[in-house]
């Protein structure tokens, strides 16, 4: 090669390397700003034990503040109306949860003796996290050993103060009351191996947990995340301490942005969201409730006092969150404010909002959930976030309470903000909102939320004729109560998709010892069957039984056969009714039109009497049709939640097995099968070449085949081994 040509070759190589580097940088930059999908959420707030109940409470403008329940403490022993009285509180009211002493420890594998020493906050966190996962369609057992992170704000235990000296020496007191075990136990019970973190920055803890979870997902240290917070008032000491600081409103109510604002009212609760990268949530067809576009955290820095907020720091924080989410300030329509209702904090917060959102054509709407349920401290931010997600889903902003005379220290005339005191339709356009939380010690967080994307899934021409609903519980009474909840849910949600409901009950839930299955062709029939079961009657559509409590989940093998079984019309009903099956065949059709000049779909499913049967029996078309149908069937089973632990291929089936195992893409597999059909003796060489070029594909199953091809090592190796694979090998893999 002469010098000129060598230089040209080197330049081409350098340009190719530069292009690859740019592509990697672009991908890295995109990953840093990828939206995070909220795929599930659950809550226990004053007056509401579910997101649905919480929304009703918000819409109706309910104030949940009440007198301190006697089972918490005797307020008469600690009350004095005079602020500053040592050891006394001038506040007798707050917003409380009910039934916090009710807990089923054995459901979580916890001994009753251990549970007795556990802070109810830890118990509440377990229950709410489990419910959030179920609402997200994530079966907890499927998350074992996964990169699922836990990021929660937890209030330092007050429960230990209720224990006498003898009880405090119990073995389980330390693990039951230290905040680090609140998160640690959650990961332990669920078997999670992602990051595990407790945040205690007081008021901003749960929203900082959201921010850290988003960062973890974008970095790849988590593939799924549980984030939120919990706060309970179990002793009078918090009331007394806050009263000594004169931080509380005497009437126990947060009157945010009102002239009467004179401190915050306390509240308690627990909220958890399940988070996932948007690309993964879309690929996995998860329910997407909303998107977290951006987030940020900072500190007030040199404010005028340790507990005094800073308008400059708050404005900087919001701008950083917008920048992180690549959102312009003009796109934001609503801010769920920190809004504690303090004479000092409220004007500072509005000044910060005006600095960021002041120049806009329409007013910025603001509100604060603390006017309904009080200040939940470590759980305050998650309550605000859940409120915003619900408001976006219902396209309505609920009323802000206790605003009668706007705070005169806020310049309302020049500040372009408005506080809705009645139910207000969400402004037209893409729904974007911000959520703020400011910590007492100066640690702040802000999160930018966007409404869930519109789903563009292909709809089915006709549904399958019958569906199977599977329910299970730890005992027969719990099973009956679960069936009753489904019956009630269907009464409230008569437009539910029967197929989605049944799929989630099977693939998105743990399966316990007591089991119930119901078949139905419609929601009405399912409702009728649930009613029959409730009365104890029998029906051929209802089956009840039990399984061993600790039976390991069954492992499944997929066997892919060779050529010879294909025929015209094979799988037509699946193609017409099942989007996943159809999508895989359509992808094959695109490739084969280009490579073979004919439509696979027209060949398999002719609109008139078939005239090309001889093509389906030919070497090339017979092989590509068999491969395409096998891959489409495998994709359909997996979409239904049936995941193989091992795949086995015979002859041509080797290629479908390798595709299912993740060795190569569908398109690469088709090209290999086409080559095999044309020239069998070159297939092995081409297969090795394709796998070598697909080095970044990480296989995820163990596989077996009849032809010696390659051995690829990964987290779960795919072995395409030589020789006739014995049933023993497959059986060993399944055990």
Rg value, the chain, Cα: 30
If you average pLDDT over residues 16-33, what whole number do you get?
73
**Contacts (Cβ under 8 Å, ≥6 apart) of 195:** 149, 150, 151, 216, 221, 222
> For the ranges 4-18, 225-239, 586-600, which has the lowest average pLDDT?
4-18
Partnered with residue 720 across adjacent β-strands are 710
Q: What is the DSSP letter of 106?
A: G
What is the tens place of the pLDDT at every residue in 485-509?
999 888 888 888 888 889 889 888 8
Residue 210 is encoded by which pair of tokens?
A: 């959201």
Residue 607 is encoded by which pair of tokens?
A: 């609109």
CA atoms of 97 and 86, how far apart (whole Å): 28
> 203, 214, 502, 588: which one is catalytic?
203
CA atoms of 63 and 401, how far apart (whole Å): 8
For residue 643, what pLDDT band results from cuts at 50, 70 and 90?
confident
**Contacts (Cβ under 8 Å, ≥6 apart) of 252:** 65, 91, 92, 93, 94, 95, 265, 266, 374
Cα 336 versus chain centre, distance: 21
pLDDT at 200: 92
For residue 97, what pLDDT band results from cuts at 50, 70 and 90?
very high
CA distances from 121 to 128, 229, 346 (A): 10, 9, 30
Burial of residue 617 (number of CB atoms within 10 Å: 0-12, 13-18, 19+)? middle
Residue of higher predicted confidence among 117 and 720: 117
Burial of residue 136 (number of CB atoms within 10 Å: 0-12, 13-18, 19+)? buried
> 178, 303, 595, 651: which one is catalytic?
651
Contact criterion met (CB below 8 Å) for 360 and 328? no
Average pLDDT of the residues of the chain: 87
Partnered with residue 647 across adjacent β-strands are 558, 703
pLDDT at 710: 37
Helix, strand or coil, per DSSP, at residue 457: coil
For 149, list phi and psi in degrees, rounded to 5.
-90, 155
What is the tens place of the pLDDT at every residue in 657-697?
999 988 889 999 998 888 877 775 455 455 555 555 554 44
pLDDT at 70: 93
179 pLDDT more than 60: yes
Contact criterion met (CB below 8 Å) for 368 and 215? no
Active site (annotated) includes residue 239: no
Closest to 586 (Cα-Cα) out of 671, 687, 667, 674: 667
> For the ranges 22-31, 105-114, 643-652, which has the lowest average pLDDT?
22-31
pLDDT at 130: 97
pLDDT at 697: 46
Active site (annotated) includes residue 206: no
CA atoms of 69 and 101, how far apart (whole Å): 13
CA atoms of 671 and 595, how far apart (whole Å): 8
CA atoms of 165 and 551, how far apart (whole Å): 42
Number of C-beta neighbours around residue 730 at 10 A: 18
Residue with tokens 């989410």: 325
**Contacts (Cβ under 8 Å, ≥6 apart) of 710:** 687, 688, 691, 720
Half-sphere exposure of 535 (CA within 13 A, CB side): 8
Identify the H or E element spanning 352: helix 345-357
According to DSSP H, which parts of 88-203 are helical? 112-116, 120-135, 165-168, 173-177, 179-190
pLDDT at 96: 97
Burial of residue 425 (number of CB atoms within 10 Å: 0-12, 13-18, 19+)? exposed
If you average pLDDT over residues 627-648, what whole number do you get?
88
Helix, strand or coil, per DSSP, at residue 478: helix
Q: At what angle do helices 666-678 and 653-660 cross, to 10 degrees?
A: 170
CA atoms of 449 and 381, how far apart (whole Å): 13
CA atoms of 638 and 38, how far apart (whole Å): 23
What end-to-end distance do the CA atoms of the chain give, in Å? 58
If you average pLDDT over residues 156-164, what whole number do you get?
88
Residue 419 is encoded by which pair of tokens?
A: 């506080």
CA atoms of 627 and 653, how far apart (whole Å): 7
What is the tens place of the pLDDT at every residue in 441-459?
999 999 999 999 987 654 4
Active site (annotated) includes residue 375: yes
> 122, 211, 239, 375: which one is catalytic?
375
Q: How many residues does the chain have?
A: 735
Q: Residues 243, 246, 247, 248: is their CA dihedral positive or negative? A: positive
pLDDT at 29: 67
Q: What is the pTM of this model?
A: 0.81
Residue of higher predicted confidence among 2 and 626: 626
> 211, 231, 239, 338: which one is catalytic?
338
Q: What is the DSSP letter of 156?
A: P
For 355, list phi and psi in degrees, rounded to 5.
-65, -30
If you average pLDDT over residues 210-217, what whole number do you get?
98
Residue with tokens 């988070």: 275
If you average pLDDT over residues 356-375, what whole number do you get?
94
Partnered with residue 432 across adjacent β-strands are 450
Active site (annotated) includes residue 33: no
Number of C-beta neighbours around residue 587 at 10 A: 18
Contact criterion met (CB below 8 Å) for 34 and 326? no
What is the tens place of the pLDDT at every residue in 266-301?
999 999 999 999 999 998 889 999 999 999 999 999
723 pLDDT more than 50: no
pLDDT at 1: 55
What is the tens place of the pLDDT at every residue in 49-80?
999 999 999 999 999 999 999 999 999 999 99
CA distances from 600 to 153, 605, 631 (A): 55, 8, 14
Most confident of 375-379, 439-443, 513-517: 375-379
Closest to 440 (Cα-Cα) out of 259, 266, 289: 266
Residue with tokens 């312009």: 328
Residue with tokens 């900072």: 298
Percentage of the chain exceeding pLDDT 90: 61
CA atoms of 147 and 342, how far apart (whole Å): 41
CA distances from 374 to 83, 204, 266, 388 (A): 20, 15, 5, 16
205 pLDDT more than 60: yes
């Amino acid at each position: 090669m002469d010098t000129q040509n060598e230089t040209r070759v080197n330049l081409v190589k350098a340009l190719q390397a530069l292009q690859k580097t740019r592509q990697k940088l672009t991908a890295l930059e995109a990953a840093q700003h990828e939206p995070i999908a909220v795929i599930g959420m659950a809550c226990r707030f004053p007056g509401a034990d579910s997101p649905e109940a919480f929304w009703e409470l918000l819409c109706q403008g309910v104030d949940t503040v009440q007198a301190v329940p006697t089972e918490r403490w005797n307020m008469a022993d600690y009350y004095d109306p005079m602020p500053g009285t040592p050891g006394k509180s001038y506040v007798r009211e707050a917003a409380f949860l009910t039934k916090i002493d009710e807990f089923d420890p054995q459901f979580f594998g916890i001994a009753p003796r251990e549970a007795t020493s556990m802070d109810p906050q830890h118990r509440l966190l377990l229950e709410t996290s489990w419910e959030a996962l179920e609402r997200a369609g994530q079966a907890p057992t499927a998350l074992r050993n996964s990169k699922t992170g836990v990021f929660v704000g937890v209030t330092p235990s007050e429960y230990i103060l209720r224990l006498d000296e003898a009880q405090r020496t119990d073995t389980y007191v330390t693990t039951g009351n230290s905040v680090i075990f609140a998160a640690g136990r959650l990961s332990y019970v669920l078997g999670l191996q992602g990051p595990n973190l407790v945040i205690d920055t007081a008021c901003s803890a749960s929203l900082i947990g959201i921010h850290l979870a988003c960062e973890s997902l974008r970095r790849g240290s988590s593939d799924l995340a549980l984030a939120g917070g919990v706060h309970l008032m179990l002793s009078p000491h918090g009331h007394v301490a806050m009263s000594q600081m004169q931080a509380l409103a005497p009437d126990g109510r947060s009157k945010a942005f009102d002239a009467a604002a004179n401190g915050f009212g306390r509240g308690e609760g627990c909220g958890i969201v399940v988070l996932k990268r948007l690309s993964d949530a879309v690929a996995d067809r998860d329910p997407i409730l909303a998107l977290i576009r951006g987030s940020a955290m900072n500190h007030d820095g040199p404010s005028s006092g340790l507990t005094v907020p800073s308008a400059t720091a708050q404005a900087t924080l919001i701008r950083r969150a917008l920048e992180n989410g690549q959102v312009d300030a003009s796109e934001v329509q609503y801010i769920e404010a920190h809004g504690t209702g303090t004479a000092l904090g409220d004007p500072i917060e509005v000044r910060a909002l005006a600095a960021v959102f002041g120049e806009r054509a329409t007013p910025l709407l603001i509100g604060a959930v603390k006017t309904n349920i009080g200040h939940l401290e470590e759980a305050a931010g998650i309550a605000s976030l859940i409120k915003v997600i619900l408001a976006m889903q219902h396209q309505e902003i609920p009323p802000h309470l206790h605003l009668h005379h706007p705070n005169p220290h806020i310049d309302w005339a020049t500040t372009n903000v408005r506080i809705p005191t009645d139910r207000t339709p969400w402004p037209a356009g893409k729904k974007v909102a911000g959520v703020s939380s400011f910590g007492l010690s100066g640690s702040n967080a802000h999160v930018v939320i966007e409404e869930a994307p519109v789903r563009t899934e292909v709809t089915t021409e006709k549904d399958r004729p019958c569906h199977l609903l599977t329910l299970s519980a730890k005992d027969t009474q719990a099973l009956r109560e679960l069936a009753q909840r489904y019956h009630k849910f269907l009464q409230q949600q008569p437009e539910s998709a029967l197929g989605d409901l049944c799929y989630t009950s099977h693939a998105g839930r743990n399966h316990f010892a007591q089991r119930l299955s119901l078949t139905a062709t419609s929601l009405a029939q399912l409702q009728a069957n649930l009613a029959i079961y409730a009365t104890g009657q029998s029906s051929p559509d209802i089956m009840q039984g039990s399984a061993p409590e600790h039976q390991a989940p069954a492992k499944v093998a997929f066997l892919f056969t060779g050529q010879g079984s294909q025929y015209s019309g094979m799988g037509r009903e699946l193609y017409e009714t099942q989007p996943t099956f159809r999508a895989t065949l359509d992808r094959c059709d695109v490739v084969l039109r280009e490579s073979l000049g004919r439509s696979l779909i027209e060949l398999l499913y002719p609109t008139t009497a078939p005239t090309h049967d001889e093509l389906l029996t030919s070497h090339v078309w017979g092989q590509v049709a068999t491969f395409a149908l096998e891959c489409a069937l495998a994709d359909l089973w997996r979409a239904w939640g049936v995941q193989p632990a091992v795949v086995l291929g015979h002859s041509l089936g080797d290629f479908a097995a390798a595709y299912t195992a993740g060795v190569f893409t569908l398109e690469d597999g088709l090209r290999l099968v086409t080559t095999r059909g044309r020239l069998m003796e070159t297939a092995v060489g081409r297969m090795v070449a394709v796998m070598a070029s697909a080095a970044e594909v990480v296989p995820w199953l163990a596989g077996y085949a009849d032809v010696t091809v390659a051995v690829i090592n990964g987290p779960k190796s795919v072995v395409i081994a030589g020789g006739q694979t014995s049933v023993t090998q497959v059986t060993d893999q399944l055990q």
